[in-house]
Amino acid sequence: MKVNILLAVLFLSIIAYASAEFFTGIVGATQLNGEGCLCHSLTPNPLVNVWIEGPDTVAQGETIQYRVFMEGGPSAFGGFNAASRFNDLSPADSSVHEIDGELTHSYPQPFAISLPVSWLFNYTAISQGWDTLYSAGNSVNGDNTPNDDQWNFGDKFPVFVSPPVPVELVSFSADPGNKGIHLSWTTASELNNNGFEVKRSVNEKDFYTIGFIKGCGTTTALNSYSFFDSPGNSGTYYYRLKQVDFNGTSTYSGIVSVSFNPNTFILTQNYPNPFNPETVISFSIPEEGYLNLKIYNIRGELIDILSDGSISSGSHSIVWNASSFSSGVYFYKLGFENEAGLKFSEAKKMLLAK
């Protein structure tokens, strides 16, 4: 009789333990650190599908978001575990927390009809070379007992951590307007980039800092930046960028020059460029009159008209949305004339990169 009572107490304790641990998640359930979700069932179940989605290549020092998905099983509530062999994982939102270097759910995630549950997490690439992400998911029946609960391991997800990328500046330009000079630049990749000091000179020798633009840290994505300078007087101005890392080291860009003369016709380079799908075309005109701004494809065919009518003097900007056009080189052409006989026409090239 005592043996039966002890067995019953032990069985109820296991159920209570499994239920309590599932509520806030436990670690040691991935193939890296454990044997699976044994408190729910002794063996994995192929009816539960677990997988990770995210990039398979990351630059050293970069932090990227990944998502683990799960579907199948009883599908009342779901929980998960994720681990990295060599690098760091951290929660991306409150639904995930970290215990001893492994991630698990902060609370059970309810299933939506015919949809998988998922959890978002951050991956920080510390060591170069191949790494592996491990995952496991458990699908429960929601009755606070492990009866009929099911779990499974996710496929191992390989990630290659490439060498760190420097700040790669792919473009830097200065375009004059009636009220000042618009600086724009684009980076293809950044590593530990704190930001850019914008420097100006009137003699191409003595440069002075006129502003600072915050960088994007470490990233392999294309990033565009801009700065507007109001030098006041007419003349030729020279600009360069001082890129500063978080540790204080710095490098300089090449020098760009621009002639600034207020109250003249000015058609600036579109920004950003390359772009997807929108870009801004800015221009300045000294007098009121009739203006048209048209878009042409690489074959010289007219494909869009952004402006065609009367316009006041001053600086103007027009947005072109190219979502309905394919990637490639396009041209924008501005034409102006007024009753006083003042005429102006200029075209510039731009790149749509989808």
Together in a domain, 153 and 199: no
Q: Count of domains in the chain?
A: 3
Residue 302, pLDDT score: 96
Q: Which of 130, 162, 194 is the last residue of a domain?
A: 162
Torsion from C-alpha of 109, 114, 115, 117, nearest 10 degrees:
30
Write the pLDDT tens digit of every residue in 283-336.
Answer: 888 889 999 999 999 999 999 999 999 999 888 899 999 999 999 999 999 999
| pLDDT > 70? residue 28 | no
Write the pLDDT tens digit of every residue in 111-166.
Answer: 887 789 999 999 999 898 999 999 999 998 877 776 788 889 999 999 999 877 67
Together in a domain, 127 and 21: yes
Residue 261, pLDDT score: 75
Together in a domain, 170 and 152: no
pLDDT band at 5 (very low <50, low <70, confident <90, very high): very low
> What percent of the chain clears pLDDT 70, i.e. is strictly above it?
89
What is the spatial distance between Cα 192 and Cα 207, in angstroms, rounded to a whole number?
A: 25
Residue 71, pLDDT score: 94
What is the spatial distance between Cα 217 and Cα 187, in angstroms, rounded to a whole number?
A: 12
Average pLDDT value for residue range 34-55:
83
Q: Give the containing element (helix H, strand E) for 219.
A: strand 208-219
Nearest of 57, 52, 36, 33 to residue 133 by alpha carbon: 52
Average pLDDT value for residue range 330-354:
93
Residue 263, pLDDT score: 66
Together in a domain, 108 and 141: yes
pTM of the model: 0.49
Together in a domain, 130 and 219: no
Residue 340, pLDDT score: 83
Nearest of 117, 128, 127, 125 to residue 67 by alpha carbon: 117
- For the chain, give the mean pLDDT: 86
Together in a domain, 174 and 116: no
Q: Which of 208, 238, 262 is the last residue of a domain?
A: 262
> DSSP secondary-structure letter at 278?
E
CATH number of the domain that residue 339 is part of: 2.60.40.2550
Lowest mean pLDDT among 16-30, 74-88, 298-312: 16-30
What is the spatial distance between Cα 303 and Cα 11, in angstroms, rounded to a whole number?
A: 74
Residue 36, pLDDT score: 64
The three-state secondary structure class of 186 is strand
| pLDDT > 80? residue 13 | no
Which domain covers residue 104, as residue numbers? 2-162
Residue 180, pLDDT score: 83
286: left (phi over 0), alpha (psi -120 to 50) or beta: alpha
Together in a domain, 148 and 40: yes
Together in a domain, 257 and 269: no
The 10 Å Cβ neighbour count of residue 13 is 10
| pLDDT > 60? residue 246 | yes
325, 286 in Cβ contact below 8 A? no
pLDDT band at 81 (very low <50, low <70, confident <90, very high): very high
Together in a domain, 284 and 298: yes
Residue 86, pLDDT score: 94
Residue 63, pLDDT score: 85
Together in a domain, 9 and 46: yes
The 10 Å Cβ neighbour count of residue 249 is 10
Q: How many CA atoms lie within 13 A of 76 on its CB side?
A: 13
Residue 89, pLDDT score: 95
Together in a domain, 85 and 27: yes
Total residues found in the chain within this entry: 354
pLDDT band at 25 (very low <50, low <70, confident <90, very high): low
Phi, psi of 141 (to 5 degrees): -85, -10
CATH number of the domain that residue 220 is part of: 2.60.40.10
Residue 18, pLDDT score: 42
Q: Which of 262, 290, 310 is the last residue of a domain?
A: 262
Residue located via tokens 């190219």: 322
What is the spatial distance between Cα 104 and Cα 98, in angstroms, rounded to a whole number?
A: 6
Together in a domain, 44 and 148: yes
